[in-house]
Amino acid sequence: MSQSKKQSFTEALSNTAVGFIVSYISTFLIFPAVGFESSPGKNLIITIYFTIVSILRGYVIRRWFNNKDVEPKDEYVKKTDGTLIERYCYDCEIEMPIKCDGIITYCSNCGLKH
Ligand SMILES: [Zn+2]
């Protein structure tokens, strides 16, 4: 995913707007087909209702997936062959494996930032 927040918002807004129009037009086809008595006003209210439900559903699912995709924090930094990368720690005064919290690397023994 290399979409900016603005692009994501624009896409979500376009998707909702197109969905709203398609749904509103569809109500004039599906309601008579199933014998549901409606009017343009009722169709509009129903379309607005389901649009709001759709936005909330999309939001909840997106948040749920975002939380699920959170990378495990505080991993040892490893080489491609799986061995731990060590750096000289000025606190421990020896080479120590380093950990990363996703942004900053630090000594896995004393927590000194590298
Ligand atoms: Zn240390």
Domain boundaries defined on the chain: 5-68, 75-107
Q: Is-above-0.75 flag for pTM?
A: no
What is the residue-level pLDDT of the chain in tens, covering all 114 positions?
567 888 888 888 999 999 999 999 999 999 999 999 999 999 999 999 999 999 999 889 988 887 776 655 688 999 999 999 999 999 999 999 999 988 899 999 999 998
75 sits in which H/E element: strand 75-76
Give residue 38's pLDDT. 92
Say how far apart CA 75 and CA 28 lie, in whole Å: 56
Residue 42 CA, ligand 1 centroid: distance in Å: 68
Give residue 70's pLDDT. 63
Contact 23, 47 (CB under 8 A): yes
Give residue 83's pLDDT. 94
The structure tokens listed for 99 are 């950990």
Residue 95 CA, ligand 1 centroid: distance in Å: 8
Residue 75 CA, ligand 1 centroid: distance in Å: 16
What separation in angstroms does the CA of 49 have from each of 27, 37, 61? 13, 17, 18
Give residue 39's pLDDT. 96
Give residue 74's pLDDT. 84
Give residue 5's pLDDT. 80
Residue 23 CA, ligand 1 centroid: distance in Å: 61
Residue 110 CA, ligand 1 centroid: distance in Å: 4
